[in-house]
Amino acid sequence: MLSLQPHRTMRFRLTVFVLPLVVALSSIATAQDDKGDSAAPIQLAQYPGAPLEDRNGNLWFGTVLEGLIRYDGNEFVTFTIENGLGSNMTRGIVEDEDGTLWVATSGGLTKYDGETFTTLTNYEPITVTKGWSEHGNHRDLWDVFIDSRGGLWIATADGVFQYDGELFTRFEMPVVAVDRKWLFTPRKVSSIYEDQGGDLWFGTDGAGAVRWDGKSMVVYTMKSHGLSSDNVSKIFQDSRGDYWFGTANGGVSHYDGNTFTTHLRSKEFSKHSGWGRYFAIHEDRRGGVWFGAAYEGGGAYRYDGESFEYFTGNPGLGAGGVPSIREDRSGNLWFGTTGGVYHFNGERFINFTKNNPQLPAPTNDAENTTDAHKPVPDSVSLEGGT
C-alpha cells in the first residue's frame, strides 16, 4: 500500500510585513487613509473554504467554483483546471509527510508536488455511472483522507476507493441507500474519518455511518441505533472519546459509546437544510468542540462538555452558513463561510479578505472563553432526545 503519512505539525509561520515609511503631505495621507477605511471588502471567492496551512506556511483555500487559492503571506495565486486541477470545484485537501498536496475535486483527485498539478484517473475496471460529474461518479470526490498507516482514501459519489500509488481500487460498502433516502446518489460517501482506536468511519448519503475495524463492519442508522439522520456529512471523535455526527438534514448526533442523542436540531423543517445541516466539526486545543451550521444564517456553535455557545454576526462572523472549520499550526481557528473566510481571535471573528489579508496575531489565543457568543437561537433545539 502507498505510504503517505499525514503531516501533523501544527507550527504556524506568521509573515511579518514591514511597511515602508512614506513621507507625504498630511492632506494626501489623510485622503489615502479615508479611502482605505471605506473600501469594501473583497472576499477570496463566492464560497471559500477554511484554509489548510502547509508545511511552508502557505494557506490553501478551496472554493466551490473558482479553483484553489494559495496565499504565501504576500500575494494570492489562483489555480484552476487550466493549471491541471480536475475541476474548479474543490471539496477537500490534505498534505502528506513528503509535503505533497492531495486535492479532492468534482473531477477527480489532483496531486500537487510543489510544481505541477496532476489529476489521477487510473481506476480498476468499473462500471462508470454518470450523474453529477461529466467524468463519472467515481471521479466526483467529496473527501480525501490519509490514515495513520499512510493509506490514501477517497470518498466519491460512487463509493470509496483506495489508492496504492498507481491504481484506485474500490472498497466495498456493506450498504447502499434505498430510494428516497439519498440526496445525491445511492452509493455516495461524504466523509472518511479515523478514530483514536484506528477504526475507519464512513459517512454515507442515506445509509447511515459505517465503522470498519479492519476486519468487520458495523452500520449505524436512525432505525438501528438512533442516529439523527442517515445522511451523514461529517464524523468526529473528541478528546473525551465521544463521537459526533454532522448530518445533511437532521442536526448533530452525539454518541457516547452506548447511546445516541440529537443536538442542534432546527425546530422547523426547511426544504433546503431539513432539520439542520452540519458539514464541519472541529475540536480546539482547549477541548471546545465547534460545529458549523451549513445553511444561510446558521453561524457556529461551541460545546464545552456541558453546554453549547452560539456565535453569529454580532462578534463578526457574518450571516453566512459555515461549511468548513480548520485549525492552523498555531491553533488559530479558521471558518469558511458562504460570506467569506474568518479567523477567531478569542473575542471576535476577523474577515480575511483579498484587500485586507489580516493574519492572526502571534499572541492570539483562539480558544479563550469570552462573552462574544449569543444564546442559542429559539429556532434551534440543543437536545432532541435519542
The pLDDT of residue 367 is 44
The pLDDT of residue 271 is 77
Q: State which H helix or E strand residue 223 sits in.
A: helix 222-225
The pLDDT of residue 295 is 86
How confident is the model over 269-318, as pLDDT tens digits? 787 788 889 999 999 999 999 999 998 778 999 999 999 999 987 788 97
Residue-by-residue pLDDT tens, the chain, 386 positions: 454 554 433 333 333 222 232 223 233 333 334 344 458 999 999 999 999 999 999 999 999 999 999 999 999 999 999 999 999 999 999 999 999 999 999 999 999 999 999 999 999 999 999 877 788 999 999 999 999 999 999 999 999 999 999 999 999 999 999 988 999 999 999 999 999 999 999 999 999 999 999 999 999 999 999 999 999 999 999 999 999 999 999 999 999 999 999 999 988 878 778 888 999 999 999 999 999 999 877 899 999 999 999 998 778 897 789 999 999 999 999 999 999 999 998 889 999 999 999 999 874 444 444 434 445 554 555 554 44
Q: How many CB atoms lie within 10 A of CB 346?
A: 15
The pLDDT of residue 268 is 81
Residue 335 in any domain: the answer is yes
Residue 21 in any domain: the answer is no
Residue 34 in any domain: the answer is yes
Residue 11 in any domain: the answer is no
* Residue among 46, 96, 103, 56 nearest 80 (CA): 103
Q: What domain range is 272 assigned to?
A: 26-381
Longest Cα pair distance anywhere in the chain, in angstroms?
Answer: 75
The pLDDT of residue 32 is 39
CATH of the domain at 207: 2.130.10.10
List of residues 6+ apart from 111 with CB closer than 8 A: 100, 101, 102, 103, 117, 118, 119, 120
Query: Taking the model in full, what pTM does it have?
Result: 0.85
Alpha helices in 7-147 (DSSP H): 26-38
Residue 176 in any domain: the answer is yes
Residue 369 in any domain: the answer is yes
Q: How many residues does the chain have?
A: 386
The pLDDT of residue 238 is 98
How confident is the model over 366-380, as pLDDT tens digits? 444 443 444 555 455
Q: How many domains does the chain have?
A: 1
Pair type for strands 90-95 and 101-105: antiparallel
Residue 6 in any domain: the answer is no
List of residues 6+ apart from 339 with CB closer than 8 A: 43, 318, 319, 320
Residue 324 in any domain: the answer is yes
How far is the C-alpha of 335 from the C-alpha of 343, rounded, in Å?
A: 6
CB 266 within 8 A of CB 379: yes
The pLDDT of residue 370 is 41
The pLDDT of residue 270 is 81
